[in-house]
């Protein structure tokens, strides 16, 4: 009986030493500010509003057991894809308008700068 107790104490001591050693070596990783369990730090402007650089830089994802919550990351990627699609559409329209104006200018059909009106605030 005494030998079994000694083995048990030694086993617990070795397990505790292994646990604390691994904790000291590997730690807990990057420390993030705690958030309430019901809240999510992931926020972007409403659909239809523009997403700017500061919105993307301010993004924070709630950590899950193996990284980040996939639903939050998927949601952000989808919103960014929609925004990029919108921006690329506007860019294509602008490039098309520039090409039209350059073609009109080359053919001599330019109206002397009245085709584009710039509004000063």
Cα–Cα distance for residue pair 4/6, rounded to 1 Å: 5
Give the per-residue pLDDT at 40: 64
Give the per-residue pLDDT at 92: 92
Regarding pTM above 0.75, the answer is no
- Tokens in use for 21? 């050693």
* 73 or 97: which leads in pLDDT: 97
CB 62 within 8 A of CB 41: yes
pLDDT digits (tens, 9 = 90+) for 28-84: 665 656 656 556 667 777 777 777 777 777 777 777 777 777 788 888 888 888 888
Cα–Cα distance for residue pair 23/33, rounded to 1 Å: 20
CA dihedral 29, 43, 48, 88 (to 10 degrees): -10
């Amino acid at each position: 009986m005494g030998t079994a107790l000694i083995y048990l104490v030694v086993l617990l001591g070795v397990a505790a030493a292994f646990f604390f050693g691994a904790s000291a070596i590997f730690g807990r990783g990057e420390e993030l500010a705690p958030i309430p369990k019901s809240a999510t730090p992931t926020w972007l402007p409403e659909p239809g509003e523009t997403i700017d650089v500061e919105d993307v830089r301010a993004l924070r994802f709630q950590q899950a057991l193996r990284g980040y919550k996939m639903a939050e990351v998927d949601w952000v990627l989808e919103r960014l894809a929609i925004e990029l699609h919108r921006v690329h559409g506007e860019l294509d329209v602008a490039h098309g308008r520039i090409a039209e104006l350059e073609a009109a200018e080359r053919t001599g059909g330019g109206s002397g700068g009245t085709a584009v009106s710039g509004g000063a605030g």
